Amino acid sequence: MIYLYNTLSRKKEIFEPSQDNIVRMYSCGPTVYSYAHIGNLRAYIFMDTLRRVLKYNGYKINGVMNITDVGHLTSDGDTGEDKMEKASKRENKSPYEIAEYYTEWFLKDAKKLNIELPEKLCKATDHIQDMIEFVQRLIDNGMAYEVDGNVYFDVQKLKSYGRLSGINLDDLKAGARIAVNEQKKSPYDFALWIKAPENHIMKWQSPWGVGYPGWHIECSTMSRKYLGDTFDIHTGGVDHIPVHHENELAQTEGYSGKLQARFWMHVEFLQVDGGKMSKSLGNCYRIEELEEKGYSALDYRYFCLNGHYRKKLNFTFDALNASKIARSRLNALLLSHKNGKETCDNQKLAEYKKQFVDAINDDLNIPYALGVLWTMLKDMPCSKDVFDLALEMDKIFGLSFDSLKEEVAEQKPQEDIPQEVKELAEKRAEAKKQKDFALADELRNQIDKLGYLIIDGRQGFEIKKK
């Protein structure tokens, strides 16, 4: 039995698909105006883990994910510039080129992270006509209104508006939380279709003039098109709860009178050094940057698996170092079981398996499941049976236990390290001990320039060639 936390009911519920053995699932995908940062990628590692748990339980998945290539403004609401247009000006390329370039990067990152993508990826710009029809029906149903080429959803027409995030429209004071737009009847009304300014590149003819769709409408339209009026699970980040998902839910209900999705699941944010990720702080790291510093995408995946998806996770390079070291120890342990000749107690293995399955089915308690793996590997005699069970567990972890050999062999022995580098590393460790972090950083830079990396762990440091 699988338990999943449903944001809509605010509790863990037993999950079963509503029809046959197939889970119909929609995941809000990337806005392809820039590279995905490690925070974004945490959201897709979560989506992937959920898919893996469902599959492990014998379900098939019909998954859909959108690629947002129009209509996502620089605020999540209705103000600011379209992110695609902004990127197009910044890079002097057409928004379509921008979308293609960053989509490709997203797919590359996902592959490196062993993220299995949903069965169908769909671009917003391929569904403009579907969106226009959706909006027209909302107008026909009396749920939306047009003002000077803009079409807005009329939240006051939908009694249930606000139920995902707990907004109560009766408490509403105009302007209290959202800036008032004079065209809107209520400040919570949101744009379905936006009139295009003269110089706007992405624009289409519609019954309301030339314009482009709002961000939320693409997800209601495409999820309905491919998964039907009501599907099983909708996923996204916690930032989607108050605006994007609240509005998706409202649109679909306004269209069909039905609940868009039975389960709504949201992944908490990744923080960096205890704070927000932001361009101005220069901490919106990408996988490529982690790789340049000597880490692999799977070190980052391992790091993410150590935090429950409903808890904030704090990224630091020290924590990533610790993950890297832990993963190489894990791989060494796995290898010793792979080559092990001892026999092991099947009863005990069955117990480990039960603990593992109970953890993953308890709202994706992956950190606990990882703990079970570690205990099993450490406590059991070296046996191929243990390795086989670890391989089965890896269907959830996605850490490539099946290609261990290559990774372990790739690691260079410590003896290759030049004396000069070793001395600098010792000096750096001493500086850290004395809390002279400026000197420690300077020494790390010198080591870096010589082509080596320092990886700190609980038991000291390790030196690696880059």
Task: Provide the binding-site residues for ligand AMP, judged by CB under 6 A.
Answer: 28, 30-31, 39-40, 42-43, 236-237, 239-240, 267, 269-270, 277
User: What's the closest the beta carbon of residue 267 comes to ligand AMP, in angstroms?
Assistant: 6
User: What's the closest the beta carbon of residue 266 comes to Zn ion, in angstroms?
Assistant: 12
Q: Which is nearer to Zn ion, 188 or 215 (CB)?
A: 215
Spell out, one character per residue from 164 to 203, where the chain touches Zn ion: x when CB under 5 A holds, - when not: ----------------------------------------
The strands making up 60-67's β-sheet, listed across from edge to edge, are: 120-123, 60-67, 22-27, 231-237, 261-267
H/E element holding 452? strand 452-457
Helix extents (H) in 195-316: 215-227, 246-256, 287-292, 297-305
- What's the N-to-C CA distance of the chain in angstroms? 46
Please give the single-letter amino acid code of residue 100.
E
Q: Which is nearer to ligand AMP, 196 or 270 (CB)?
A: 270
Q: Is 211 helix (H, G, I), strand (E, B) or coil?
A: strand
Q: Which is nearer to ligand AMP, 91 or 239 (CB)?
A: 239
43 touches, from Zn ion, ligand AMP, none (C-beta below 5 to 8 Å by class): ligand AMP
User: What's the closest the beta carbon of residue 43 comes to ligand AMP, in angstroms?
Assistant: 4
Q: Which stretch binds Zn ion (CB under 5 A): 4-12, 45-53, 219-227, 346-354?
A: 219-227
219 touches, from ligand AMP, Zn ion, none (C-beta below 5 to 8 Å by class): Zn ion
CB distance 287 to 315 below 8 Å: no
Q: Which is nearer to ligand AMP, 272 or 330 (CB)?
A: 272
CB distance 25 to 117 below 8 Å: no
Rounded distance between C-alpha atoms, residue 81 and residue 73, angstroms: 5
Question: Which residue, 381, 361, 373, 377, is CA-closest to 398?
Answer: 373
User: What's the closest the beta carbon of residue 232 comes to Zn ion, in angstroms?
Assistant: 16
Q: Packing angle between helix 246-256 and helix 215-227, nearest 10 degrees?
A: 50
Q: Parallel, antiparallel, or unpaired for β 313-315 and 270-272?
A: parallel
Q: Which is nearer to Zn ion, 230 or 400 (CB)?
A: 230
User: What's the closest the beta carbon of residue 252 comes to Zn ion, in angstroms?
Assistant: 11
| 28: contact with Zn ion by CB under 5 A | yes
Q: Which is nearer to ligand AMP, 139 or 272 (CB)?
A: 272
User: What's the closest the beta carbon of residue 180 comes to ligand AMP, in angstroms?
Assistant: 26
CB distance 248 to 216 below 8 Å: yes
42 touches, from Zn ion, ligand AMP, none (C-beta below 5 to 8 Å by class): ligand AMP
389 touches, from Zn ion, ligand AMP, none (C-beta below 5 to 8 Å by class): none
CB distance 205 to 212 below 8 Å: no
Binding residues vs Zn ion (CB under 5 A): 28, 219
